[in-house]
Amino acid sequence: MKVISHLSANEKVIALTFDDGPNEPYTSQILDILKKFNIKATFFPVGENIIRNKNILKKIFANGHIIGNHSYSHSMLAPILSPSYKNEIIKTQELIFNIIGQKPIFFRPPWLFRTKAMLKTAENNNLQIVTGTFGSYFEVLGTSPEKIARNTLRKIKPSMILIFHDGYNNKIANRKNTVEAIKIIIPSLIEKGYKFTLPK
């Protein structure tokens, strides 16, 4: 099964993606930034976080962004106990469909970890695997906005799918520094001539 790890275009384009939400107020703050710059992104929410933030999932969808599947629990044990990941994937597909009326077409495995059985489950549910490049390995730890932005901008190349986090696993988390970093990263990329698009 093909895995989308970067965009097919050879132009100066970037895809922004956000994992582990919805997580307030940070998901809404990111939505406001994207709206300001007229950018569409892809959000990969976690089922247990969706349960707490159903209206925010609706808001993401209403703002024209893509909603993917990032598992139900984001548990590190889940792919070990159930290599097919069937319950994690299908339960999240159904949850998202019941809220926005559409099933995701993209699946991003937690930590980008994949098994053959998991890939088969995704394929059986008409899901395309989307990975990408972490904007900054330190971002998930909540390091300073300047460091997140600096590490991201240092590695930028055309056609990247960038991974950031508006949440953390299946928990409530402080993502203030990610929000502030995005405020630095987007204008910097625009100044460098980059445009923003969605994975295909």
Q: Give the distance from CA 135 to its chain's centroid.
A: 11
Reference 88, options 103, 78, 100, 96; nearest CA is 78
Tell me which of 19, 20, 65, 166 is the catalytic residue: 19
Joined tokens for residue 30: 């990111």
Helices 176-191 + 145-155 axis angle, to 10? 40
Is position 166 annotated as part of the catalytic site? no
- Is the CB of residue 96 less than 8 Å from the CB of residue 124? no
CB 181, CB 142: distance < 8 Å: no
Is 19 catalytic? The answer is: yes
From 20, 65, 165, 166, the catalytic residue: 165
Active site amino acids? 19, 165
